[in-house]
Structure 1
Amino acid sequence: MDALGQADIPKPDPPVVGTVTHHSIELYWDLDKNLQRTSSHDQWLNFSIEEEDSKTHTYGTIYTGYAKRYTVEGLQPSASYRFRLKVTSSNGDYNYSPVVTVSTTREPKSGEDLHRAVNMNDEDAVIKILRTRSVKTDVPDKLGFTALMVAAQKGYSGLVNLLIENGADVNQVNGSGKDSLMLACFAGHLDIVKHLREHGASWETRDKSGCAAIHSAADGGHLSVIQWMISDGSKVDIKDSHLEWTPLMRVSSITGNTDVAACFIEAGADVNVKDKDGKTPLMVAALNNHEGLVQLLLENGADHSVKNEYGKTIVEMAHAFGRQNVVSLLLKMRK
């Protein structure tokens, strides 16, 4: 009788373990050619891979066919699995291989892990994650911020240094076009601003509204940052591309901070510059009821007689918006 027709079909070797990941295990087998088939075409061997149920310790078939390789998918990371190979001849005789035990690898670190560690200011965790090389340093979070942007915004100087040392791109921008330098300028972290400049961050970079880092600094109102930026060559009369506002215009609109405005004026900012609608810093300050700033601008040469695109004076505009204190101040300064 043909050897394959015997009930004592030779015991196969256990499947060989190939590539193992955190969610898959590759198994393959290559039996002796004399056992793979007989001279008859209908005597091919059938192969099955069976997996042990860890709770019941019984085996269930997860693959059957004539191939010599199978990859088990959808597994849990860092988990142990047991498999055996079943070889069946065409007449139904079969035998099992010894069991092979394989453990999947740990799940690789992700961008979420990196950003979680950065938000917690956990330098050790960031180092470990970057050393795995499974996460790119500049992977963005759900808001489009890189780890460097987050660290720069939060003032985590150590992490900023660490991320740059590991290849973080200081010129990477988020969805609104802002880079790490803009975020650090707005938040007032001078040490980080200096460090980013040392590593190639530019004053000329613009976000999607055409604002540069100096506009962000004006919005943040951190005088020491603005003073250093100006000393480092940042332009004070640079206009955005949306409203054509200079940093002084943004102070007039948003914060009304007289110290910051005085810094810009001392550095040569034009107090009579006009935006795309013909408004001046004085007009904007008056409309936003920034009395102190209105007085500062007038004391530094702001023209109170200028009119807007509709022919209205600053006094008329302030009166129309109910800025009575500003109206009184303007009338007093005109005398």
Structure 2
Amino acid sequence: MFYLGHVEGYATQEWKDGRTFQGLYKSDERFGPGIESYPDGCRDIGLWLANHLIKLCTEVPGSFSVLDYPEHYRYFDDSSPKKCISVKEDPFLRSYKHLPFDDKDIFPEGVLAYSCNMDHLTLTHSFLEDCDAHYFENTKELPEEDPWPIANGTPLLVRIQMHAYKHRHCQAEFSSDMRLILRGVRSDYGHPGPRELASEQLIQKAARGDFDGVCTVLRNGFAHPDVADKQGYTALAAAAIHSHCDIVNLLLDNGADVNKCSDEGLSALSMCFILHYPEESFKGNIAERTLHSYQKWNERSESSEAVSVVESVTSEQQKRWETIQLLLRRGADPNVSWVPSHLLFFAVKAADAKAVKLLLEKGAKTDARLPSKFRGLSPLHIAASIPGEEGVQITEYLLSSALDLDARAEDGNEVYGPDEPQDKEASLSGDVTWQLKNEAGPPQEYFSSYNGPVPEEGGRSALHIACEREGNSEDARDVIRLLLMHKANPNTLWSGHSPLSLAIASGNDLAVAELLKHGADPNLPLSGAVKSALCAAVSTAYEHQRTTAQRIALVDKLLEAGADILAPVTLQEGKRKAVGTAVDFAYYKYYQDRRIANTPYHMLSASEQEVVQTRQALLEHITAKLRERVTLKEKEWDQEELRRSKKLDSAIRVCASKKKERNHDEEQGRLPIFKYCYQCGRSVGVQLSPCKHCYEVFTCSEACRRKSWNERHSRECSGLLGRFNHHCCVSMVVWVYVIITWACLPLNELFK
């Protein structure tokens, strides 16, 4: 039949010499499945493009398959839906193609009266629909059938498959089933013809590096330079994976498509990357949780045989790198193949900064993602976790074209490793009970409420990963600095942690300083095992990362940066809750280790005694900071009113214990005060009693009362009592003077 003046659909062509062709046509040319038969009984079978086979129905021995590389094949995303062919949907549709969908915006009325040359007129969407309606008007309506998956994503082959799908019900007069050819089934069609043989020879000679043989086949004209076998394996791919650069240039000069892909979705460039970067070349990184180190070639024994193997591999790698450079120089698109993963991942995971730079210069996309089963990581996520100077360099390259610095991985439900409950810790803390009484925590007047934006929960960002790194503090700091300078958000949450708390947990004080300098909020409320950056600094879970002096210096650094030690911290044990401070959190973590907290000091080992000393030194330091903070805050208020409120509070407590009634106006008129142990700093899970002399401070036990009295409060309390005695003496003198004056007056004056 004819379509717009050109041969269209399935047809049979015969020659006087006895040759025949049965197959699919488009615009007067072969375009799709077909069979050319010869008088001697041999046949050329496959997908045709004009007078050449573009894809065979046989497989060439030695073809490349990712199935032979299981370490890479695991990156296939089997869960992603298969793309299927649809006549109504254009897989190459772009937004600008919607413009000619409306005829009135393209053609003036009656234009076909002046010209019917469809090679020059714009073929609008509705016009083509009308043509299809006339062309297929005699085609019988058939029941619904299974969708046709796209076997090969190369644009030319997609168009061939769509054309075959469009005419799938129009080959009734053919004895051969063209759908079998589309699936690569040659069946029993006899010996292959000259075109099939020449095509197979072209691929095999290219793989062997036979330059003259490839030239001869191309000169004869029986094989298309872009022909592929049943699996989509082309001569270009065969030459590239064997590093025959001269043949690669020859094929490209003769019209081979440098971006043509196999049925697995592999381009010649991606095949070279798979061979150039074996799994042992990848660096262990925390982004993928591959912390193991692969054995390198230069770490093997220095025997003569091992040295020769290393030299051979190095030579092959160099040749393959030269082939990769050649393909990129000749127009290979690094984004055309995402199988088994985007090519940028290979170079990043191997810490090959030179290759990363080259790929980015050639337009590699930085928004690529690994499959969901690998947490949906981006190249920037992995680069931020690569140890050494290479990681810093690669991160800098990626940031020059990164679209989203705060892109999240798909690991929002993952728990930060050190926060996972361990069996040992569970046994240590199993019997720990605190008498939580729903304490309300410090009154609002004592601390500044967090007024920033609500922390964004989600998966890890590149900044989270860089802050999670342990070791190589300087390199990690440099990566963090680059991310922050490019405006990465330092106040997002993953697994209840901010980048700042992760830097604290990983022991990287250089990263802590960098984060604080670039706007990380030390008062950002956290939702995980630690409730604030200050809680992370005093937690026993991360104490192995620092010495006692370093932990104390870290606390001071956070306080200088604005961390509020009086910010409320919620503690929970079972169904009971209470609100305290970072000091309460520190004691809570301390008492979770029953061995350290409840065993007499002399019964502990030397290492355990050192742990006790370290923890107690930190507890004493943060308690001193808490006292200083409360004292400074209370100095801002009227001291007499504050003293009266504290005495009134004590009186209310006594009356409550004796079930006496108090004046409601007095209770409302007193200042809100924060009650905490003046010695240990605890305000949660303890019974606080005021000083019997001044009622100014509270202690939680007799031991704390005595220690506090001996260390500081005896001097403070005597000063308060001195002022009190001075006021009493003055009052007594006044009363004595009044009495004496009255006694000396005459009786009549006294009665007046």
Determine whether 1:248 maps to 2:480. Answer: no
AA in 1 matched with 2:40: V
Residue 186 of structure 1 and its aligned partner are, at CA, apart by 4.1
Cα offsets for 1:8-66 (capped at 9, x unmatched): xxxxxxx9363489999xxxxxxxxxxxxxxxxxxxxxxxxxxxxxxxxxxxxxxxxxx
Aligned to 1:174: 339
Determine whether 1:236 maps to 2:405. Answer: yes
Residue 200 of structure 1 and its aligned partner are, at CA, apart by 4.2
CA distance 1:184–1:145, shift in 2 (3 Å): farther
Q: State the alpha-carbon separation in 1 of the partners of residues 520 and 257 from structure 2.
A: 57
AA in 1 matched with 2:410: S
Determine whether 1:278 maps to 2:496. Answer: yes
Q: Is the 8 A contact 2:240 2:248 kept in 1?
A: yes
Q: Within 5 A, what are the aligned runs for 1:261-272?
A: 261-272=480-491
Determine whether 1:211 maps to 2:380. Answer: no
Aligned to 2:423: none
AA in 1 matched with 2:486: A
Aligned to 1:16: 40
Q: Within 5 A, what are the aligned runs for 1:138-157?
A: 138-139=261-262, 146-149=267-270, 151=272, 154=277, 156=321
CA distance 1:324–1:190, shift in 2 (3 Å): closer
Residue 314 of structure 1 and its aligned partner are, at CA, apart by 0.9
Q: Is the 8 A contact 2:399 2:486 kept in 1?
A: yes
AA in 1 matched with 2:544: R
AA in 1 matched with 2:536: I
- Of the three residues 358, 361, 365, the one matched with 1:202 is 365
Q: Within 5 A, what are the aligned runs for 1:303-314?
A: 303-304=521-522, 306-312=525-531, 313-314=535-536
AA in 2 matched with 1:242: D
CA distance 1:134–1:230, shift in 2 (3 Å): closer
Aligned to 1:87: none
Residue 332 of structure 1 and its aligned partner are, at CA, apart by 0.9
Residue 321 of structure 1 and its aligned partner are, at CA, apart by 4.3
Aligned to 2:541: 320
CA distance 1:201–1:134, shift in 2 (3 Å): closer
Instruction: Choose between structure 1 and 2: higher helix proportion.
Output: 2
CA distance 1:217–1:147, shift in 2 (3 Å): farther
Cα offsets for 1:47-93 (capped at 9, x unmatched): xxxxxxxxxxxxxxxxxxxxxx98259xxx99xxxxxxxxxxxxxxx
Determine whether 1:225 maps to 2:394. Answer: yes
Residue 311 of structure 1 and its aligned partner are, at CA, apart by 4.6
AA in 2 matched with 1:16: D
Determine whether 1:123 maps to 2:342. Answer: no
Q: State the alpha-carbon separation in 1 of the partners of residues 408 and 343 from structure 2.
A: 20
Q: Is the 8 A contact 1:265 1:271 kept in 2?
A: yes
Residue 279 of structure 1 and its aligned partner are, at CA, apart by 0.8
AA in 1 matched with 2:506: N
Residue 325 of structure 1 and its aligned partner are, at CA, apart by 0.7
Instruction: Choose between structure 1 and 2: higher strand proportion.
Output: 1
AA in 2 matched with 1:173: W
The normalised TM-score by structure 1 is 0.53
Q: State the alpha-carbon separation in 1 of the partners of residues 395 and 257 from structure 2.
A: 39
Structure 2 regions of 5+ residues with no counterpart? 1-38, 46-55, 59-187, 205-228, 278-319, 413-458, 557-752
The normalised TM-score by structure 2 is 0.27
Aligned to 2:17: none
AA in 2 matched with 1:288: S
SS state at 1:219 partner: coil
Q: State the alpha-carbon separation in 1 of the partners of residues 492 and 548 from structure 2.
A: 21
CA distance 1:140–1:265, shift in 2 (3 Å): farther
| Higher alpha-carbon Rg | 2
Q: Is the 8 A contact 1:148 1:170 kept in 2?
A: no
AA in 1 matched with 2:338: V
SS state at 1:156 partner: helix
Cα offsets for 1:294-326 (capped at 9, x unmatched): 454345454455544245421244x22452417
Q: State the alpha-carbon separation in 2 of the partners of residues 320 and 170 from structure 1.
A: 44
Q: Is the 8 A contact 2:334 2:363 kept in 1?
A: no
Q: State the alpha-carbon separation in 1 of the partners of residues 378 and 239 from structure 2.
A: 29
Q: Is the 8 A contact 1:172 1:179 kept in 2?
A: yes
CA distance 1:17–1:207, shift in 2 (3 Å): same
Compare relative contact order (CA 8 Å, sep 6+) and give the higher one, 1 or 2: 1
Aligned to 1:6: none
Q: State the alpha-carbon separation in 2 of the partners of residues 326 and 121 from structure 1.
A: 55
Q: Is the 8 A contact 2:405 2:483 kept in 1?
A: yes
Q: Within 5 A, what are the aligned runs for 1:4-153?
A: 16=40, 18-19=42-43, 71=190, 106=201, 108-109=203-204, 111=233, 121-124=243-246, 126=248, 137-139=260-262, 146-149=267-270, 151=272
AA in 2 matched with 1:287: A
Aligned length: 244
Cα offsets for 1:253-306 (capped at 9, x unmatched): 24652211121122222333212x221113223333445434543454544555
Aligned to 1:4: none
Residue 128 of structure 1 and its aligned partner are, at CA, apart by 6.6
Residue 149 of structure 1 and its aligned partner are, at CA, apart by 3.5
Q: Is the 8 A contact 1:185 1:213 kept in 2?
A: yes
Identical positions, percent:
19
Cα-Cα RMSD: 4.6
Cα offsets for 1:213-244 (capped at 9, x unmatched): 32232233532332233334544323223332
SS state at 2:42 partner: strand
CA distance 1:269–1:169, shift in 2 (3 Å): closer
Q: Is the 8 A contact 1:239 1:246 kept in 2?
A: yes
Q: State the alpha-carbon separation in 1 of the partners of residues 402 and 358 from structure 2.
A: 15
Determine whether 1:183 maps to 2:352. Answer: no
Structure 1 regions of 5+ residues with no counterpart? 1-14, 25-68, 79-102
Q: Is the 8 A contact 1:272 1:281 kept in 2?
A: yes
Aligned to 2:479: 260
